[in-house]
Amino acid sequence: MLALRPYQEQAKAALYDHLRQRDDNPCVVIPTAGGKTPLMASVCKDAVGQWNGRVLILAHVKELLEQSADKLRTVCPEIEFGVYSAGLKRRDTRNPVIVAGIQSVYRRACELDAFDLVMVDEAHLIPADGEGMYRQFLADARVINPALRIVGFTATPFRLKTGPICTADGFLNHVCFEVGVRELIRDGFLCPLITKAGKAKADTTDLHVRAGEFMADEVEDLMDQDALVKAACAEIVEHTSGRQACLIFASGVKHGRHIVDVLSRQHGLKCGFVSGETPIPERDATLGRFRRGELKYLCNMNVLTTGFDAPHIDCVALVRPTMSPGLYYQMVGRGFRLHPSKQNCLVLDFGGNVLRHGPVDEIQVVTRDRGNGEAPAKECPECQAVIAAGYSVCPQCGYVFPPPERQKHEAKASEAGILSGQVTDAEYEVRDIAFSVHTKRDAPPEAPKTMRVDYRLGLNHWQSEFICVEHDGFARQKAVGWWRRRSHDPVPDTAERAVELADAGSLAITEKITVRSIAGEKYDRIVDYQLGPLPEALEVSPFDPFDPDEVPF
């Protein structure tokens, strides 16, 4: 008999407390690969064996139905259960527990008769309104049994356009239990995730949005340029040389086949491909080869986001941008499962998804689409302020944004941390440097100013820092230490004088900097420098008897 993990037992206890104490419908939130299916099977065992109830498990893909049936056999072999699914060629209707595909039963609530409990796997797919299949079936099932209780299970309890799936007037009303990705990784129940690669990402600022998602044809045009596909494939191959199973998410069918072709012709590697157009026998055969390790690379378009179980996946490559936080999570979640052969799962994000939605354990949900197709926010390259996309001039530093150009994704995947708190250090060669006097926005005239230092690290990639020469206390101490590492001249007392000396050549040249990014934090910071030799002093240092560091003998 399969024993539940501690958090699964806690989830079941919280669910039962909710059903006893409230008359609405709860939702259980457990991350992908966290074991929702064994929990549902255990609930079925209790509902039928202890309370003489009748249970329906609803799911939307064949793989989830097969997982549920398999766990029912393991957890409660004594319970008679049936399956209603055209894809599985079974139409059982009288069993105490039935596992059903929503596409097969949404018009057949009467045929299945009354249930006491309906459990919906991937419950975020229940639409907020309208006449979708889930809403039609659940409404009819409530007519047959007005006392019906509905329980949702999901890893992503939100929808892109409407926010949380639990609402006072919805089919699901309250999250009764939730456990997070970070907790399960910490406790050894999910595989750790890492990211690796450069800063460049797909620029989606001029993609249009329809129904809460980027328009498919525009996304595919953006991502399917030959040189860019070759560059992305080269990076995938480079980073997976020591890995065993890489799942690739493409931006379209043509794009996916292009990726497969490049991996084959340029790198001599076999890569399978499946999409909604792939015949089921061919798809099943390809997935079987990938699961058995006969294929190291598998590319797909929109078919392996939920229900696909291949625990040995140790690299997920997102060669597509998405506006959907749920889809982003589901794609990354393919690497969550534990397997004896892997220590972690590498996420290569070529679509800017981590930066768009946040670390996978702290997804930022935007509950409206972008309307005119512009991003909801953008980063000023001069001061790194995050501002509304509509600004043509940065309100904080005055930087004038150039007219939008359609940029393509580059050779590097984003290195933004896939888990909150994940620290990534990257060393950059400094191509140019600029000094200026900075006044804090809305500060009074008498407020201390700072010397702003801007390092150009790429064509349009800048990193800034602020040297607080006019401040007191620790801020002044840091400024003094910063200056003395670079100059024989005395530390200036004003930002204006600091800029004059810097522009005159008083400071050692900064050749390289190391920039630290912490996932979930808005701004990066400089943590190390490689400096050139100190130049000769421009002015004579005054003797300061109170500062032993400045005594000239």
pLDDT tens digits, 471-510: 988 889 899 999 999 999 999 999 999 999 998 899 999 9
> Quick count: other Cβ atoms within 10 Å of Cβ 514?
14
In angstroms, rounded to a whole number, what is the distance separating the alpha carbons of residues 515 and 448?
26
How far is the C-alpha of 455 from the C-alpha of 435, rounded, in Å?
A: 9
Q: Enumerate the domain spans of the chain.
A: 6-179, 193-370, 423-550
∠ at Cα 403 (398, 406), nearest 5°?
130
pLDDT of residue 449: 92
Contact between 29 and 154 under an 8 Å Cβ cutoff? The reply is: yes
The token duo for 171 is 């089919």
CATH of domain 193-370: 3.40.50.300
- Residues ≥6 apart with Cβ < 8 Å to 541: 488, 489, 490, 550, 552
pLDDT at 546: 39
Report mean pLDDT in 10-residue bins for the chain, 553 residues. Answer: 87 95 94 89 91 90 80 82 86 90 90 93 79 87 94 84 80 91 90 69 76 86 89 92 95 96 96 92 93 95 80 94 87 91 91 82 56 45 50 60 51 69 82 89 86 82 89 89 93 93 92 85 85 84 44 31
Instruction: Note the pLDDT of residue 374.
Output: 40
Half-sphere exposure of 334 (CA within 13 A, CB side): 30
3-state SS class at 158: strand
For 289-406, strand residue ranges (E) read 297-301, 315-318, 345-349, 377-379, 386-388
Pick from 69, 75, 63: which is nearest to 32 by CA?
63
- pLDDT value for 405: 46
Q: 């690299």: which residue's tokens?
A: 315
CATH fold, domain 6-179, is Rossmann fold (3.40.50)
pTM over 0.85: no
CA atoms of 96 and 378, how far apart (whole Å): 54
Which pLDDT score is estimated for 365?
A: 61
Query: CB-based contacts of 221: which residues, under 8 Å, 6+ apart?
Result: none
Q: pLDDT tens digit string along 378-392?
A: 555 654 444 445 556
CB-CB contact of 401 with 413 (8 Å): no
User: Which pair of structure tokens corresponds to residue 196?
Assistant: 């690796």
Q: Are strands 271-275 and 423-429 parallel, antiparallel or unpaired?
A: unpaired
Q: Name the nearest CA neighbour of 419 among 305, 335, 502, 320.
A: 335
Angstrom distance (rounded) from CA 262 to CA 260: 6
Q: What is the pLDDT of residue 63?
A: 77
- Provide the edge-to-edge strand list for the sheet that holds 81-85: 90-91, 81-85, 97-101, 55-59, 117-121, 149-154, 26-29, 174-178
User: Is residue 101 within 8 Å of 59, Cβ to Cβ?
Assistant: yes
Q: What is the pLDDT of residue 513?
A: 94
pLDDT of residue 550: 42
The single-letter code of the amino acid at 229 is V
Same fold, 6-179 and 193-370: yes
